[in-house]
Amino acid sequence: MTASAGDSTDARPRLRRSQRERTSWLQVRGVIMSRIAEGIYPPGELIPTEIELASEFGCARATVNRALAALADRGVLDRRRRIGTRVAPDLIHPGACQRVPRMRDMVEAEGRRFRFQFLGVSGRAAPPDVCERMFCSDPAALVETCTLFYSDERLICAERRWHDSRALPELLPALGEETTANDWVSGNAPVTRIEQRISAHLAGAIDAHEMLGCPPEAAVLQYETCLWTAGAPVSLSRHAMQPGEVMATRIR
């Protein structure tokens, strides 16, 4: 199932020798994700076994197991005992793009006036939990932008968004007084998968109190949305709602 290490015709993404000497599960996960994105491991097909991958990468089988388990937890792989590990058959559907919910539509659907304030690029390095959600080993590749959303001139939400500048190079130049990152992604990115999580936090714990103008101890809801294209995450947004505000969406 795997080509020999000496096969010069094998163009699969590999770990360099210096990387093999200190292979981590994150590196193994990155290589597997690259092979999936490039079609080397197609949807629905079995990938090499843990033993084969451990031999190829020169690492412990437990290292490979952790990488595969992390991908399975996000629905990228389907692991079956005595059968093997397959790429999820529904991971990539060319032409079957998902509709990205827009804050603008949610506000206007209630008959209210939508307005936003783009605060610009934060300049901060992406935190480890964001890199983990984005399957990104290079924090410098993730650009964070901050935006405030208003309904009838009432501040309702603060957005922190990270996008992979390598996958979406045209996003940042398009932002300004008329276009939000939410708008641009909805109209321009071929989103094939949407992951959403809702959680409750103290505003200060997620650095939202200054943007919302509320006390650090105020309880807020946070809506997290991770967007995928071509089998990989490209954008992660976290919308912290003003205390007392909720987000209503319609699933069609």
User: Using H for helix, E for strand and C for coil, what is the string for 99-136?
Assistant: CCCCHHHHHHCCCCCEEEEEEEECCCCCCHHHHHHCCC
- 173 in helix, strand or coil? helix
pLDDT digits (tens, 9 = 90+) for 195-229: 999 999 999 999 999 999 999 999 999 999 999 98
Domain positions in the chain are: 25-87, 103-241
Percent of the chain with pLDDT over 70: 87
> Do 170 and 181 meet the contact criterion of CB atoms below 8 Å apart?
no
Mean pLDDT of 164-190: 93
Kindly report the backbone phi and psi dihedral angles of residue 197, in degrees, each rounded to the nearest multiple of 5, phi listed first: -135, 140
Bridge-based pairing of strands 114-121 and 154-164 is unpaired
Q: Is 115 exposed, middle or buried (0-12, 13-18, 19+ CB in 10 A)?
A: middle
Helix (H), strand (E) at residue 150: strand 142-151
pLDDT of 4 > 50? The answer is no
At 37 the pLDDT is: 83
Residue type, 201: H
pTM of the predicted model as reported, rounded to 2 decimal places: 0.81
Per-residue pLDDT at 162 exceeds 70: yes
> Average model confidence (pLDDT) for the chain?
88
Instruction: Identify the weakest region by mean pLDDT among 51-65, 86-100, 153-167.
Output: 86-100
Tokens of 22: 């200190």
pLDDT at position 97 is 76
C-alpha distance from residue 187 to each of 108, 174, 196 (Å): 17, 12, 19
Task: Tell which residue, 11, 2, 17, 19, has the closest CA to residue 55.
Answer: 2
Extended strands (E) in the chain: 77-80, 84-87, 114-121, 142-151, 154-164, 193-202, 219-229, 232-241
Confidence of residue 2 (pLDDT cuts 50, 70, 90): very low
- Tokens, residue 191: 């989103």
Question: Is there a common fold for 25-87 and 103-241?
Answer: no
Query: Domain 25-87 falls in which CATH fold?
Result: Arc Repressor Mutant, subunit A (1.10.10)
Mean pLDDT highest for which of 16-20, 23-27, 31-35, 50-54?
Answer: 50-54
103-241 has CATH 2.30.30.90 classification:
no
Mean pLDDT lowest among 11-25, 46-60, 153-167, 184-198:
11-25
CB 77 within 8 A of CB 85: yes
Task: Quote the pLDDT of residue 38.
Answer: 86
Task: Express the helix, strand and coil content of the chain in percent, nearest 5 each.
Answer: 30, 25, 45
